[in-house]
Amino acid sequence: TIKRVSTRDLRARKGGVPIVCLTAYTAPMAQFLDPHVDLLLVGDSLGMVVYGMDTTLAVTVDMMINHGKAVVRGSQHACVVVDMPFASYQESREQAFRNAARIMAETGCAAVKLEGGTELADTIHFLTERGIPVMGHIGLKPQSVHAAGGFRAHGRDAAEAARVMADAKAVAEAGCFNIVLEGTVEGLSREITAAVEVPIIGIGASPACDGQVLVTEDVLGLFSAFKPKFVKRYADLGSQISTVAAQYAEEVRARTFPADEHCFGIPAKPRVLEV
Residue positions annotated with a catalytic role? 182
Q: Does 43 bind ligand KIV (CB under 6 A)?
A: yes
Residue 223, phi then psi, degrees to nearest 5: -135, 115
Q: Does 167 bind Na ion (CB under 5 A)?
A: no
**270 preceded by a cis bond (ω within 30 of 0):** no
Evaluate whether 133 touches 92 at the Cβ level (below 8 Å): no
CA atoms of 35 and 191, how far apart (whole Å): 31
Evaluate whether 245 touches 71 at the Cβ level (below 8 Å): no
- Applying CB under 5 A, among 21, 42, 43, 222 the residue interacting with Na ion is 43
Q: Does 210 bind ligand KIV (CB under 6 A)?
A: no
x/- track of binding to ligand KIV for residues 3-22 (CB under 6 A) = --------------------
Beta carbon of residue 164, minimum distance to Na ion (angstroms, whole number): 17
Q: Does 217 bind Na ion (CB under 5 A)?
A: no
Q: Does 212 bind ligand KIV (CB under 6 A)?
A: no
* Residue 236 identity: D
Stretch that binds Na ion, among 57-65, 82-90, 191-199, 221-229 (CB under 5 A): 82-90
Nearer to ligand KIV, 137 or 169 (CB): 137
Residues binding ligand KIV: number (CB under 6 A) = 12
Q: Does 218 bind ligand KIV (CB under 6 A)?
A: no
Instruction: Go through 108-135 and write b for each residue having 16 or more CB atoms within 10 A of its CB, e for each that does not.
Output: ebbbbbbbbbbebbebbbbbbeeebbbb
Of the chain, the end-to-end C-alpha distance in Å amounts to 51
* Residue 187 identity: G
Q: Does 140 bind ligand KIV (CB under 6 A)?
A: no
Which residues sit at the interface with ligand KIV, rule CB under 6 A? Answer: 23, 41, 43-45, 83, 137, 180, 182, 203, 213, 215
